[in-house]
Amino acid sequence: MGNPILLTAVLLVLAVIGANLHKRLLKRKLEKATVFLRQQHDFLQSTLNSIAEGVIVTNSEGIIIFSNRPAWNFSGFGPQEMTGKHFSEVLKFKKELTGQDITIPYQDIMESRYVLRREDDILLENKEGSELFVGFSVAPIIKDKDLSEGVVIVFWDLSAQRDVRLALAESEAKFRGIFEVASDAIYLIGLDGVVVDANPAAAKMLFYTRDQLIGKRLSDFTSKEGYRKIKKIMEEADGYKAVALTVDQKRKDGTFVAAEVSLRLCTMGQEKRMVMLARDVTERKKYDQAIKHLALYDALTNLPNRNLFNEQIKKALHRAKRNKYKTAVMFLDLDCFKSINDKYGHRIGDLLLKGVGQRISGILRQEDTVARLGGDEFAVLLPQITTAADAGVVAEKICREIRKPWFISGYNFTVTLSIGIAIYPQDGENGEELLKNADLAMYNTKLNGKDNYQFYGSKV
């Protein structure tokens, strides 16, 4: 057997060597783990430094254990002075309107495990006292199902969004101001044709209250023809170009008002709306109609004048040519009208002219036309006759009717007229030629005793 003392010494030496070797191995593993953790920390730090949001991580006591560069920039605190502080010393949130401090219930968040998010007009006051419009969220750091070991606070700059919102609010206020005081009616209409809003001028124009107008369909207060036009525009609306037209709008009492309407598609928030401006042009329309009437009708007798009569002849000849039938044009002139004016005065003369027009109109068919050409000259258009004799029958009726006694303002008298007749197509191919030849025939009637009618080209 060997020496027991020597064996024990060898074993001790081996044990020491083994312990030292194990210690060196553990040290190497620890160094590798430390390097790995440092690399992971640096990677995490670099990653979070590159995002736009500020990030702060706390332990369960609310003490900051991690933060990123945006958090330093937003708060004004450096990384060294921030770490170890309670987050409430760094993040001083308050309400914009009231200035009231906002307390983050981080203990409740860790216990109840919910996420708090706010973007409702919040300011962050930094270290120097400057304020930044922000939003923030707070979420628990969950270690296991029973334990949360801190919170993550993320906050972000909302200054740009706030500027946009303020600009929109300013624009909305301007629009609302114009909307309320505008003299023209303004409607906001959904693409389904329902009124979303209407200004006081719209309610006044249609005899409704504002509340009564809101919710009504456009078809409820627009004429059928007007609604058809507007509906077509709304269905075909492509882009945001304004379209103008004139429609009749129905008032609450059932009467109609002529409205000059301008339509434009607009985006309001997330929805599209049709903005409709309407101006009451009833009086202007009446004025325009009066001007048009004066251009086409005789002011004294309210009969068609020469301009309108020429248009009627043109249309009648177009139909007659297409359908191959005859048309008659008559030229009528009162006999000795000057003596009536001289004896009874121009007022009686004017009343006589009106009466002549009325008597002639009473003889004619609905499709026939009588016009006053000027002075004591009248014209008659028979757009469709079978033979020239048909025109002679009408002319005889007119002469007979005008011969009847006249009783005007206490004066009793008789009067006659002379008529010339031209027939399409044998006496002329156009209105000017027919009217000229009818005039010549009328003068032949005058030369041959008056109070009668004569066809163009006929012999006495």
Q: Known catalytic residues?
A: 376
Residues recorded for the chain: 460
Q: Which of 278, 277, 269, 274 is nearest to 189 (CA)?
A: 274
d(CA 447, CA 442): 9
Torsion angle in degrees (nearest 10) through CA of 264, 265, 268, 270: 180
Exposed/middle/buried for residue 256 (C-beta within 10 Å: 0-12, 13-18, 19+): middle
**Hey, is 243 helix, strand or coil?**
strand
Burial of residue 61 (number of CB atoms within 10 Å: 0-12, 13-18, 19+): exposed
Which amino acid is it at 299? A
Closest CA to 386 of 330, 325, 429: 325
- Give the DSSP letter of residue 324: T
| DSSP conformation class of 194 | B
Edge-first strand listing for the sheet containing 185-190: 195-198, 185-190, 271-280, 256-268, 243-250
First to last CA, the chain: 181
Phi (first) and psi of residue 230, to 5 degrees: -65, -40
Q: Structure tokens of 119?
A: 């973007």
Query: What's the Cα-to-Cα distance from 326 to each of 275, 369, 381, 383, rounded to whole Å?
Result: 55, 15, 11, 8
What whole-number distance in Å separates Cα of residue 159 and Cα of residue 425? 85
Cα 93 to the center of its chain, rounded Å: 44
